[in-house]
Amino acid sequence: MNTTTAPESAVDPRCFKSFAEFYPFYLTEHANRTCRRLHFIGSTLSLLCLVALVVTLNPLWLLAGLVAGYGFAWIGHFGFEKNRPASFKRPLYSFMGDWAMYRDIWLGKIKI
């Protein structure tokens, strides 16, 4: 038996009818502290890339922001959380969850 990876979640992220229903599930998919930290770093870098995009009008900053945001998050999921990001099945709710979790980290509701 392979014990290096956690089993896939038994819950299909597509079953949720609203973001309010989805967000608690999203948080269970981010139980690993290192995964949350990597999400926070990636989100912060994405925001900095957005500022650089607005200041320079260079569209490469958009690409850099996407790579930073998703790159750090996916490293967190595949390397530490040992699960597949919900963004593969619920991209909009997952994107919203990223920013809700980012807000909740800043507000001290979630520890990193």
Encode pLDDT of 32-75 as tens digits.
999 999 999 999 999 999 999 999 999 999 999 999 999 999 99
DSSP 6: P
Cα–Cα distance, 12 to 90 (Å, whole number): 9
User: Of 10 and 102, which is predicted with more confidence?
Assistant: 102
pLDDT over 50 at 93, yes or no:
yes
Task: Using a cut of 0.75, tell me whether the model's pTM lies above it.
Answer: yes
Residue 80: both structure tokens together? 């530490």
| DSSP H stretches of helix in the chain | 19-28, 33-56, 60-75, 91-106
Mean pLDDT in residue range 102-109: 98
Distance CA 68, CA 55 (A): 18
36 Cβ neighbours under 8 A, 6+ residues apart: 30, 76, 101, 105, 110, 112
102/25 Cα distance (integer angstroms): 16
